Amino acid sequence: MDLPNLSIASLGGTVSMQARVFGEGVVPTVSGATLLASVPELRTLARVTVETLQLLPSASLSFEHLLSVLRWANTQIELGAVAVVLTQGTDTLEESAAFFDLLWDHDEPLVLTGAMRSAAQTGADGPGNLLDACQVGLAESSWRRGVQVVMNGQIHSAQAVRKTDSMALQAFSSPVVGPAGLLLEGDVHYFHPPRQRHVLPLPQRSTHKVALLQASLSADSLLLENVLALGYDGLMIAGFGAGHVSETWAGKIDAIARKIPVIVATRCDCGPTARSTYGFKGGEMDLAKRGASMAGFVCPRKSRILLWLLLGCQRQDDLARYLRLLQY
């Protein structure tokens, strides 16, 4: 039987972690090849190429790292891979997925997965998640869906998925919309057909900075007041409730929004920002008049990534359009 070509890369994370010294905690040490060896079934499904691109906890990944990984993944597709699977840490998995999804211009799937239990733990979930991710990548029904996250038997779209528990095995969910599909007895089942995708050009620069500030009760405005002086090129605010800030913060946004793009999202785990409900100073209607863009269903972290990519390819004037396109 002529098997398809599948490419896998390891970036590190819990899925690759073991303890070098007992009692001192786990660190990334397990290569992609070693992880692959723990899933012998994969050799019966595809001709597998595996590389270890990084061995980092995902909190230490950067946009520059991800752009390098994207170049590698693009090359794998050009060489004939029918899918690419990446393993990384779960701390930033939802952000990496959103980043790649905005830049992945292939019909072939790009699938991300990780683990909540280290490679040394009894009942480690990494091998099972890797097998599931590869089965999703190899499924014909996964084409033209962009980037998927596969964890614990569930398939999540990159723009909807969130890490909603810090340590539980069932750590990932897609608020409001639910998972995109499930794996059942090795078969891939999607609940809906693929959506139209809107891919950005690769950023021409990567040195620009987008700040993310979170509104909180009685917060001072010192950081907000210094965003421009600190050289930031964009500002992302995780606001209260439906996208609100204090009167003090609202008064600072006018001057900032005249200089750099400002987005306000909700800091809540579920739900969108409002558009035309609250008219008080610092409410969403007031902030829009001051020049801020409301993120709708796009969470603060993914809104920041969108703005960083738009700035990088000089498409910041399309911010409102892309925020609309990313709504559920």
Where in the sequence numbering do the catalytic residues fall? 14
- Radius of gyration in angstroms for the set of CA atoms belonging to the chain, rounded to a whole number: 20
Structure tokens of 271? 């739900």
- Residue partners of 105: CB distance under 8 A and separation at least 6: 199
Where is 301: in which H helix or E strand?
A: helix 300-312
- Spatial distance between the Cα atoms of 79 and 202, rounded to a whole number of angstroms: 20
Q: How far apart are alpha carbons 176 and 97 in whole angstroms?
A: 18
Q: Do 93 and 149 meet the contact criterion of CB atoms below 8 Å apart?
A: yes
Structure tokens at 295: 């993120």
Q: Which two tokens stand for residue 197?
A: 């995708």
Tell me if residue 51 falls in helix, strand or coil: strand
- Other CB atoms within 10 A of residue 295 CB: 27
Minimal CA–CA distance to 31: which of 2, 53, 61, 59?
Answer: 53
Q: How far apart are CA 55 and CA 148, in angstroms?
A: 22
CA 239 to chain centre: 20
Mode of pairing for the β-strands spanning 154-157 and 147-151: antiparallel
| Calpha distance 76→7 (Å, rounded) | 7
CA distance 79 to 326: 31
Cα four-point dihedral sign 92, 96, 102, 108: negative
